[in-house]
Chain A
Amino acid sequence: MSKILVVDDSSTVRDEVAGFLRKNGLDVDTAVDGKDGLTKLKGSPGIKLVISDVNMPNMDGLTMVEKIRGELGNSTVNVIMLTTESSPAMKERGKAAGVKGWIVKPFKGEAVLETFRKLAG
């Protein structure tokens, strides 16, 4: 069962992040937007860490996180945003929604791998 869910509308990013994590022995699933992310999370209770973009069609990443905490009632899954956004207001909204951390792209796998392992349990 997947332990990490990577959510990004860009297949380039999904392939890069998921590929790196799988190469380092982690179980990874992917989703193409916030709506797909919610569906995947509902169907996979073993997911411990969500790595998500903010700007996505259909449902953005922060709305997805708010729904994870609200509608799904999941207060335990760790969420890290991986996004081009760096505005303090956006980060505050993330914090309020229960986001655990924030990475402004580009993704540097080696720098975050051990933290991701810990967050994925």
Chain B
Amino acid sequence: MNENKPVSKVLVLEDCPAHVETIRQFCDENNLIGVKVAKSRLASALRSNFDLGAIFVSGSYGGSSEESAAIARKIHAARPELPIIMRRGTDAGPGDVPAALDAVVCGSYVASDMASLRKLIDEYIFNREYPNALVRGIAELTSAVLANLFSDMDVAVDAPCIVRDRIIFGEVFSLIPLESTWCRGYMMIQAEEEPILDLLNRRETSQGAADFRDLNSLLGELTNLIWGAFKNRYVGDADGLSHSQVQVPLLINHKQKYISFGSESPHLCFTYRLKDEQSGRTVKLHQRFAFSLSWSPEDFQEFEQAAGATIGAGELDLF
């Protein structure tokens, strides 16, 4: 694994033990986290993994090519954003993927040519270059905000992840635009309601039991603090702002827990875990960056605090 680059999670639907090992090694060498799934647990795996980058499926998964095709079609119907990459048999050519699957499978490869799988994941998952300073910086500034806001909890962050899924984690999310000369899009913070209400109720307050409005306010301020830190570090002054008038509708389907930013580009995601050492309970927050309106990493810049500036966060700068 290259720890300086984001990873991506892929569901691996593979019956052949030899190829499972090949895939495992491929994943390790290409910053993929492979989640191997037996056919009997596929539905449950799709439900519990909302942050996938792709699906790898063998052409005979489930026992036959017909079964494999049926599974691929079902997955595509449920999660059309996920690229499905099929492994063909050793003697099969590129044209041997059934025509009926043309609209379902985005590409195929054979086990003897893993370079072609590499090309596919570069095309469909890792098709954006994220500056290391940005990826590292987002995790740092967000962790710092969380550590300050939840000073009684341990904050841990998972490896940054590239996600094609459009599934919303949890029941509540905040959304805030990000605007600069080098990127335009949105940041989301997604969370489950109950763990946060539980956390709020465990804190001593004289205001009675916390309700969803308290959660909304906390999530709102958390988002504001992260956005502010992002802006100070990566956008700078007014000259750093984009003046584009382009906007694209966002689409949210509450019933399907689905959000679209109008673009098929993968998202950069981070998962933070806040652990209360006393109770052992954990709150999970999912942070998602959709740079859906524009992305110019060649223009990326980081603003350092001006030399000589001595006023830190929380300190009063009297004029």
Contact = CB atoms under 8 A, between A and B. Distances in A.
Interface of A: 9-13, 15, 55, 80, 83-91, 94-95, 99-108, 111-112, 115
Contacts of B220: 9-10, 12
A37 B137 CA distance: 35
A105 B313 contact: yes
B263 interface: no
Contact of B315 (A87, A100, A108): A108
Interface in B209-235: 213-214, 217-218, 220-221, 224-225, 227-229, 231-232
Contacts of B312: 104
B148 A106 contact: yes
Contacts of A9: 220
Contacts of A102: 311, 316-317, 319
A89 to B, nearest CB: 5
Nearest to A116: B316
Contacts of A84: 224-225, 227-229, 231-232
B315 A111 contact: yes
A12 B316 contact: no
B251 interface: no
B283 to A, nearest CB: 15
A108 to B, nearest CB: 4
Given A10-B220, A11-B217, A84-B229, A104 B318 contact: no
B246 interface: no
Interface string B276-317: 000000000000000000000000000000100001111111
Q: 9 nearest interchain CB pairs? A: A84-B228, A108-B314, A11-B217, A10-B221, A12-B221, A101-B318, A12-B217, A102-B317, A89-B237
B18 interface: no
A83 B315 contact: no
B121 to A, nearest CB: 37
A1 B318 CA distance: 26
B28 to A, nearest CB: 40
Contact of A103 (B149, B306, B317): B317
A55 B317 contact: no
A84 B318 CA distance: 16
B318 A87 contact: no
Q: Which of A15, A86, A89, A108 lies at the interface centre, i.e. has the most chain B CB atoms within 10 A of its CB?
A: A86
B319 A95 contact: yes
A100 B318 contact: yes
Q: Which of A11, A12, A85 lies at the interface centre, i.e. has the most chain B CB atoms within 10 A of its CB?
A: A12
25 contacts: A10-B224, A12-B217, A12-B218, A12-B221, A13-B221, A15-B207, A84-B224, A84-B225, A84-B229, A84-B231, A85-B228, A85-B231, A86-B228, A88-B237, A89-B238, A90-B237, A91-B317, A102-B311, A102-B316, A103-B315, A104-B313, A106-B225, A107-B314, A111-B316, A112-B315
Nearest to A84: B228
Nearest to A53: B224
Contacts of B231: 84-85
Given A87-B236, A88-B306, A111-B314, A105 B217 contact: no
B232 A86 contact: yes
Contact of B319 (A10, A101, A112): A101
Contacts of B225: 84, 105-106
B176 to A, nearest CB: 10
Given A103-B315, A111-B315, 7 more contacts: A10-B220, A10-B221, A11-B217, A12-B220, A84-B224, A85-B232, A108-B315
A13 B149 CA distance: 11
A87 B92 CA distance: 60
A103 B213 CA distance: 26
Nearest to A102: B317
A12 B311 CA distance: 24
A31 B214 CA distance: 17
Contacts of B306: 88
